Amino acid sequence: MQTPAVRAALANISRICPGFLPRQVLREGSRHILIAGTIGRAPVVAKCLAPQALRSEHAEQLIERFHHEVSVYRAFVRHRPPVRLPRLVAADHERCVLVMERVPGRQAARERHPVSAPTPGELRAVLGSIRSLNLWRPPTDVFGKPLDYQLEISRFHSVGQLTDRDASDLRALLHGLAGSPLQLCHGDALLGNILLAPSGPVLVDWEQAGWYLPGYDLAVLWSVLSGDSAARRQISQLAQSGGTVARDAFLVNLVLVLMREIRLHDVPGAGEEQRIMIRRLYDDAALARRAVRTAVGTR
């Protein structure tokens, strides 16, 4: 049964792809609508900003992110990245429609914080893809800097998630990282944004791609793999393999990512499973804070 939102999305898709034949609504959420279909014999997926999102208080930010993702896909046509991603078919910047190749494969995890992690072999493949992306050096003006680190520290400090000492320590590490090369990151490297295809991992949802301090994608992965200590060790070793600068950058990223996860999940009415996850996030944040303090003390 087509809802008004899906019908509106289909009308916008048809404007840029008249030959689009819808097959299945993959997702109808408050932010995005995903519709699988075909153009000729080619399987495609259309991603649209939901009408509900356009009426929300965060509409401006959501539109900006969607425009950014369209720009990223267009940039990838001119500058081909060393990782697998869906091929761009068509896009409508004004109506927030993105039509991409549909890649066969399954999500590396369905949950944001999965109970069971990917197999060691799958994790190696995922880390290999992320590493390839992070080492890639496209022209610096092609991608922006989505994260204002000083602003993020101030924001979490102002709401009490970071103490005065925490904020001071993070700023000290940031000061030491001034002038260090940034790294191209996916920006939202959750396992749900990685498809495990026969040809290898495929990265999707590029809304937050851009230049970050080194190790941002690895910090995101570390933050959601609380149930797999071996995977976390592997990620930490990889993140710190570049020496002190890489270690400090990873720690700054990790604290900010964990603060965001706590803010996202620590809400009234959480169920028992979510409360357990929240406790783990607080434990992880305490561990990361101590590591930052140690790093500042050894500078």
Return d(Cα 156, Cα 167) in angstroms, integer.
9
Token representation of residue 20:
């689009």
Pair 63, 164 in one domain = no
pLDDT per residue rounded down to tens, the chain (299 residues)? 589 999 999 999 999 999 999 999 999 999 999 999 999 999 999 999 999 888 888 899 999 999 999 999 999 999 999 999 999 999 999 999 999 999 999 999 999 999 888 999 999 999 999 999 999 999 988 899 999 999 999 999 999 999 999 999 999 999 999 989 999 999 999 999 999 999 999 999 999 999 999 999 999 999 999 988 999 999 999 999 999 999 999 999 999 999 999 999 888 887 888 899 999 999 999 999 999 999 999 87
CA distances from 34 to 14, 46, 189 (A): 14, 6, 19
Pair 147, 286 in one domain = yes
Return d(Cα 91, Cα 124) in angstroms, integer.
33
Beta strand residue intervals within the chain, DSSP E:
20-28, 32-39, 42-49, 88-92, 97-101, 106-107, 183-185, 194-197, 200-203, 210-212
Pair 293, 208 in one domain = yes
What pTM did the predictor assign? Answer: 0.94
**Alpha carbon 288 to chain centroid distance?**
20
Pair 163, 120 in one domain = yes
pLDDT value, residue 271: 85
The closest of 29, 41, 37 to 5, measured between CA atoms, is 29
Q: What domain range includes position 137?
A: 107-297
Pair 133, 281 in one domain = yes
Percent helix, strand, coil in the chain, to 5, is: 50, 15, 35
Q: Which of 37, 69, 102 is the last residue of a domain?
A: 102
Residues 28-58 have pLDDT tens digits of: 999 999 999 999 999 999 999 999 888 888 8
CA distances from 240 to 154, 190, 221, 227 (A): 26, 20, 15, 21
Residues 213-222 have pLDDT tens digits of: 999 999 999 9
Pair 263, 130 in one domain = yes
Question: What's the number of domains the chain is made of?
Answer: 2
Pair 112, 67 in one domain = no
pLDDT value, residue 117: 81
The closest of 108, 112, 103, 130 to 120, measured between CA atoms, is 108
Q: Is 18 helix (H, G, I), strand (E, B) or coil?
A: coil
Work out the burial of residue 104: count CB atoms within 10 Å of its CB; fewer than 13 is exposed, 13-18 middle, 19 or more buried: exposed
Contact 4, 50 (CB under 8 A): no
Q: Which of 60, 75, 102 is the last residue of a domain?
A: 102
Pair 171, 262 in one domain = yes
Q: Which of 102, 120, 146 is the last residue of a domain?
A: 102
CB atoms within 10 A of CB 2: 12
Pair 55, 119 in one domain = no
Q: How does 249-269 read in b/e, with b if 16+ C-beta sit within 10 Å? A: bbbbbbbbbbbbbbeeebeee
pLDDT value, residue 273: 85
Token representation of residue 127:
């880390």
pLDDT value, residue 266: 87
Pair 180, 43 in one domain = no
Pair 164, 281 in one domain = yes
Beta strand residue intervals within 119-254, DSSP E:
183-185, 194-197, 200-203, 210-212
Pair 125, 61 in one domain = no
Residues 262-290 have pLDDT tens digits of: 999 888 887 888 899 999 999 999 999 99
Q: What is the CATH number of the domain that holds 8?
A: 3.30.200.20
Q: What is the CATH number of the domain that holds 217?
A: 3.90.1200.10
